Amino acid sequence: DKLPTVPSPTPEPTPTPRPKMPPPTRIQIPSVGIDAPVVEVGYKIVEIQGVKVIEWEVAEYAAGHHNTSANPGEGGNIVITGHNDWKGEVFRTLERVKLGDEVILTSDAGVFRYRVTEIHYRKEVGVPLEERIATGRFLDPMPEERVTLVTCWPYGIDDHRIIVVAKPVG
């Protein structure tokens, strides 16, 4: 018997490179009263239990856009963090966000609208490093456009992270 022939794989089409877009400058979540400026933030490498990990800065009195994450309209993971209980409390009400709520990002390129599709509560204090690293995966580059919002929780205790994911409208 002859073995069935398998067609050779076709080469992947080269994606059209997306233009570099400007970073977000404002975030609004009308349903919970969030309206804050967005500034760029960077990171440093720190060692925890002998493992080198990225520790991101958190902006004071503003939301912080991770400077290596995507910008609105580029297609990718747009990561924005903010304090919930000090230095501006810009994400104080993020814990009240519900699925379907609108997230609006403004940049020099215009206004970009997203809808909340996921809300995660992840323990941060007193969990194994592997679990903390798994939580950090939400900040990784992603192929599809999305906004990932992160803050500490609960208010004044901060032993968890709230992670809110929103996808483009339309």
Model confidence pLDDT, tens digit, residues 25-59 = 999 999 999 999 999 999 999 888 888 888 889 99
Superfamily of domain 24-168: Sortase (2.40.260.10)
72-112 per-position pLDDT tens digit: 999 999 999 999 999 999 999 999 999 999 999 999 999 99
Radius of gyration of the chain (CA): 19
Residue with tokens 């076709």: 10
